[in-house]
Chains A and B, each alone.
Chain A
Amino acid sequence: MSTTALAPPDGTETTASRSETRRQRRRRERLEERDAAIPAHLYGLKRGTVPLITALCALFAIFTLAPVVWIIINSTKSQANLFGSFGFWFARPFEFFHNFSLLFQNVDDNGTYFQWFGNTVLYAVLGGGGATALAAFAGYGFARFRFRGSKAFFYLMVGALLVPIAAITLPLYLVYAKAHLINSIWGMILPSLVSPVGVYLMRTYVELSVPRELIDAARIDGAGETRIFFRVALPLMVPGLMTVLLISVVTVWNNYFLPLIIFTQNRLFPLTVGMGVWSQVAERSGGNTNLYPMIVMGGLVTIVPMIALFLILQRYWRGGLLLGSIAN
């Protein structure tokens, strides 16, 4: 947000009365945001520009939503209709619940969908949550301490972003083979704890929102470093934590390559790998199985939680953190 605006910094609430309803507050925030931005007419736009631009946005929105709309509509179709009927509208019979029940099947001993769903939740929560925790510690360490090698470690970590995942994941499989970590959930969770992007974002956020003076004051008051971290710094880091948590969870949820390599037992697959396997099976069998509606329904159930999470957590995360990382 503009520094000269009246609006409060991201993620914090104004000190206006708590008795405001949620809707009133949202309306006020929107008005403040509008007051804080430069009024559009000052840019000297011609008459028809706003509708034209809105139309372009709408076009792109259609492009963006098309696959999502498609998957919602087609999750209600039988296999025959999937290939027979018009893609973007419904067709009888309405098989949504039937398709949903198909997900409970075990196809070719590849494991059941809901097993995969449970796995994905487990990996995402532990991996994403753990990554956020490690990133919070490390970000705080890099931001507020000057120790020898701090810069070196940081650049090393950022440099690792350049390395292709293939170069890390494939040898990881071999390392796991020696360490008996193949087909272990920890083989999936532990590497997911490493999120250089998370550390980068947290470091930026700590620089922005945990003033050195506050920490120094706490030190003078005799608090130990751990105590300072948990009682002083962490509460101020919450909005950044939310963003990093969201990004980490989504990253693990969407991860394909790592589980593809390290899991050979189907019951451990996350949703991504499972869906990939189903696609393969469906193609090979040439339409003989009833797999296609399951794939469509499976895809829908895979994306619904994440989209819902996004929409719910929208208020905490307004891209302000991503902005902060750019400013540095």
Chain B
Amino acid sequence: MPAVTLEKLTKVYATGIRAVDGLDLRVNEGEFVVLVGPSGCGKTTALRMVAGLEEITSGTLRFGDRVVNHVSPRHRDVAMVFQNYALYPHMTVRQNIGFALENKKIPAAERDRRVRSAADVLGLTELLSRKPRQLSGGQRQRVAMGRAIVREPSVFLMDEPLSNLDAKLRVRMRSEVLRVHRSIGAATLYVTHDQTEAMTMGDRVAVLRDGVLQQYGTPRKLYDSPANLFVASFIGSPEMNLYEASLEATEDGAAVVLGSQRLTLPGRTDVGQYYGRKIIIGIRPEDLGDPALGHGTRAGATAGGGHGTHPHAPLAADARLIEVLGSEQHVHFSVDATPAGGAAAAAGDTAQAGILAAGAPNGVARLDSRSAIRAGTRVMFSVDTERLHFFDADTGQAIATSSS
């Protein structure tokens, strides 16, 4: 019995805006599920519907086997951490955390015990007598979490709780949040616009766009087998390289025609119905390697990682700019092929797509730091053809890929 079930959940505002459209989602007991997507994709609205703060236009929401569409948020036994923390400004930390328990008429001694234990878990014990305005952003965020966990709810909701923190603090707090989650063990629904957060924190991740669920699965699944163009370019940084291409048959399999080049895919027979048709090909930056370093040397890959046995094809390109990160290098290149817009162009961001003018780089490769490739030279990448992604040029849906 999943802890939370969303069945075709839809929200249409009085002004006609469809914020969430037919969302299907299941959160199991103790699971940490992340809702991720760009601004306006409906993730916060969906969360608020689960909380009961937004009315559900159509669809069913269940907690366990109980339909809760019309149950007041007061009685749903959910706790929520808001993006701006929503602390009661005129109350102390102790009063903030204990407020819900006060409402439940829990006796003062028991209340105090639970507040103290929540404060201990979050490291707030010294701050109990302070007021919110005397706290830093990170401390306020922890008070907001304390307020939620002290209620021992069956469902936890978090609305971008880390967005207002600075970058370093955010990274630290990620593990804090997970630690708290594991010690509490309740089903958690977590909303963020940051795909890194989603990938590092979620047991399962749901990608939303314009109110519609794009894909729901483990981070690994989303990364290795994105269901469509949007997920492919949204997940992963740097973004997946996408180009217009076409497929054709060869004697021993298939080949991709990418601009003026051909990448052979020996033994590939599963893409038959797309021969001769336009497709979009996706190459993750780390699947482009420097052949001088030997096959199988992907950025960050350990020596002897199994991908050395994958077939590789050469891809010529002009290296335009090299970013040295120390642990790896990012090579910005242009290849003679038509780039297909990823998330940026798909979102109508023509300005960004327009930057991909002639001569400007249209791809990024992640190379091992030992690579000696220089900017302004013509290079030959080796492409791991087993890890290529193919998408239907009209629908954006993924065509069968090898690693499933």
Binding site for B on A (CB under 8 A): 4, 28, 31-32, 34-35, 38-39, 41-42, 44
Contact = CB atoms under 8 A, between A and B. Distances in A.
Contacts of B105: none
B72 interface: yes
A39 B14 contact: no
B72 A32 contact: no
A31 B14 contact: yes
Contact of B15 (A32, A38, A39, A41): A32
Given A35-B13, A38-B53, 12 more contacts: A4-B84, A28-B15, A31-B13, A31-B15, A32-B15, A34-B14, A35-B14, A41-B72, A42-B52, A42-B72, A42-B73, A44-B72
12 contacts: A4-B84, A28-B15, A31-B13, A31-B14, A31-B15, A35-B13, A35-B14, A39-B55, A42-B52, A42-B72, A42-B73, A44-B74
A42 B14 contact: no
Contacts of B72: 41-42, 44
A6 to B, nearest CB: 9
A35 B15 CA distance: 9
Interface in B69-83: 72-74
B71 to A, nearest CB: 12
User: Which of the four size classes fits the interface of chain B?
Assistant: 10 to 19
Interface in B1-56: 13-15, 52-53, 55
A42 B15 contact: no
Contacts, number: 19
A177 B55 CA distance: 70
Query: Which 9 residue pairs across A and B have the least CB separation, nearest first?
Result: A31-B14, A31-B15, A35-B13, A35-B14, A28-B15, A32-B15, A44-B74, A42-B73, A34-B14
A31 B14 CA distance: 6
A61 B84 CA distance: 39
A326 B74 CA distance: 32
Nearest to B13: A35
Contacts of A35: 13-15
Nearest to B82: A4
B83 to A, nearest CB: 9
A76 to B, nearest CB: 44
Interface in B124-174: none
B399 to A, nearest CB: 39
A39 B13 CA distance: 13
B307 to A, nearest CB: 47
A42 B53 contact: yes
Contacts of A42: 52-53, 72-73
A271 B14 CA distance: 48
Contacts of B74: 44
A130 to B, nearest CB: 40
A326 to B, nearest CB: 15
Contacts of B55: 39
Nearest to B84: A4
B48 to A, nearest CB: 11
B94 to A, nearest CB: 26
Contacts of A4: 84
A323 B53 CA distance: 26
Contacts of A28: 15
A39 B73 CA distance: 12
Nearest to B44: A4
Contacts of B53: 38, 42
A30 B39 CA distance: 25
Contacts of A41: 72
Most buried by A among B13, B15, B84: B15
B164 to A, nearest CB: 13
A4 B44 CA distance: 12
A7 to B, nearest CB: 11
